[in-house]
Amino acid sequence: MAGQTLTIGKALNLGLRRAMEDDAKVVLMGEDIGKLGGVFRITDGLQKDFGEDRVVDTPLAEAGILGTAVGLAMRGYRPVCEIQFDGFVFPAYNQIVTQVAKIHARSKGTLAMPIVIRIPMGGGIGAVEHHSESPEAYFAHTPGLKVVAVSNPVDAYWGIQQAIAHPDPIVFLEPKRRYWEKAEVDPDATPEPLFGSRVVRGGDDVTVLAYGPMVKTALQAAQAAEEEGRSLEVVDLRTVSPLDLEPVFESVRRTGRCVVVHEAAVTLGLGAEIAARVTETCFHSLEAPVLRVGGYDTPYPPSKLEEEYLPDLDRVLDAVDRSMGF
Largest CA distance in the chain: 60
3-state secondary structure of 57: strand
Mean of pLDDT values over 182-198: 95
State yes or no: is 141 an active-site residue.
no
DSSP string, 166-185: SSS-EEEEEEGGGTT-EEEE
3-state secondary structure of 55: strand
Q: Which of 254, 325, 248 is nearest to 286 (CA)?
A: 254
3-state secondary structure of 219: helix
pLDDT, position 3: 80
DSSP string, 64-108: HHHHHHHHHHHTT-EEEEEPSSGGGSGGGHHHIIIIITTHHHHTT
User: What is the tens place of the pLDDT at every residue in 72-93?
Assistant: 999 999 999 999 999 999 999 9
Q: Is the pLDDT of residue 195 over 60?
A: yes
Considering the chain, what is the average pLDDT of its residues? 96
List the catalytic residue out of 104, 130, 131, 284: 131
In contact, 113 and 104? CB cutoff 8 Å: yes
User: What is the tens place of the pLDDT at every residue in 236-295?
Assistant: 999 999 999 999 999 999 999 999 999 999 999 999 999 999 999 999 999 999 999 999
Mean of pLDDT values over 20-29: 98
Which runs of consecutive H residues, i.e. helices, occur in the chain? 8-22, 46-50, 62-74, 93-95, 103-106, 136-140, 153-165, 214-227, 246-255, 270-282, 306-309, 313-324
> How far is residue 288's CA from residue 325's CA, in Å, rounded to a whole number?
8
